[in-house]
Amino acid sequence: MSYTLIVTEKPTAAKAVAEALADSKPTKVGEKAAWYEFTKDNKKFITVPAVGHLFTLKQADKGWFYPVFNVEWVPSFKANKFAAFSEQYYRNIEELAKDAKEVIIATDYDDEGEVIGFNILKFLLGRKDASRMKFSTMTKEELHDSYAHMAKLNKNLIESGLARHYLDFYWGISLTRALTLAVKASAKRFRILSTGRVQGPVLHMLAKHEKKIKAFKPDPFWELQLHVQVGKKTLIAEHGKKLWKKKEAETAHKKSKVKNAAVKKIDKKVMTQAPPRPYNTTSMLADIYRYFGYSPNQGLSIAEALYQAGLISYPRTSSEKLPKDINFKKIITNLGKQKNYEKESKELLVGDLKPNEGSKTDAAHPSVYPTGVFKRMGEKQQKVYDLITRRFLAVFGKPAKRESHKVTLDAGGVAFTLTGKKTVEPGWTSLYGKYAKREEVILPNLKLKDTLPVKKNDMLSKETQPPARFSQGSVLKEMESRGLGTKATRAQILQILYSRGYLIGKSIEVTELGSQLSGILEKNVPDVISEKLTRHFEEMTDSIQTGKAKREDVINEVKTKLEKICNDFRKKEKKVGDELTEAVIATQDKQSKLGECLKCKGMLKVHKNWRTGKRFVGCSGYPKGCRVGFPLPREGVIISTDKRCDKCKQPIIQVQKAGARPFRMCLDPTCETKKDWLDKAKLKKVQAESRKSSKEAEKLRCKECKKQFKTARSLTIHEKTHKK
Contact criterion met (CB below 8 Å) for 4 and 104:
yes
Q: Which helix (H) or strand (E) holds 29?
A: strand 27-29
| Cα 78 from Cα 447, distance rounded (Å) | 80
DSSP 219-281: -EEEEEEEEEEETTEEEEEE--S-B-SHHHHHHHHHHT--SEEEEEEEEEEEEEEPPPPPB-H
Written as one string, the DSSP assignment of 628-658 is: -EEE--SSSEEEEEEEE-TTT-PEEEEEE-T
Cα-based angle 705, 710, 714 (whole degrees, multiple of 5): 65
In the three-class reduction of DSSP (H, G, I as helix; E, B as strand; rest coil), residue 177 is classed as helix
Cis peptide before 444 (omega within 30 of 0): no
Q: Are 507 and 471 in contact (CB under 8 A)?
A: yes
Under 8 Å between Cβ of 471 and 508: yes
- CB of 369 within 8 A of CB of 330? no
Among all residues, which ones are annotated catalytic?
314
Residues sharing a CB contact under 8 Å with residue 472, sequence separation 6 or more, in sequence order: 289, 295, 296, 494, 506, 508
Q: Could you give the C-alpha distances from 377 to 305, 386, 572, in angstroms and in order?
A: 10, 11, 55
By three-state DSSP, how is residue 192 classified?
A: coil
CB atoms within 10 A of CB 684: 11
CA distance 317 to 280: 6
Number of neighbouring beta carbons within 10 Å of residue 690: 19
H helices of 525-572, in order, are 531-545, 551-571
- Is residue 666 within 8 Å of 651, Cβ to Cβ? yes
CA dist 76 and 60 (Å) reads: 14
Instruction: Determine the residue type at 64.
Output: W
> What's the CA gap between 633 and 619, in Å, rounded?
18
Q: 210: which residues sit within 8 A by CB, 6+ positions away?
A: 509, 510, 515
CB atoms within 10 A of CB 680: 7
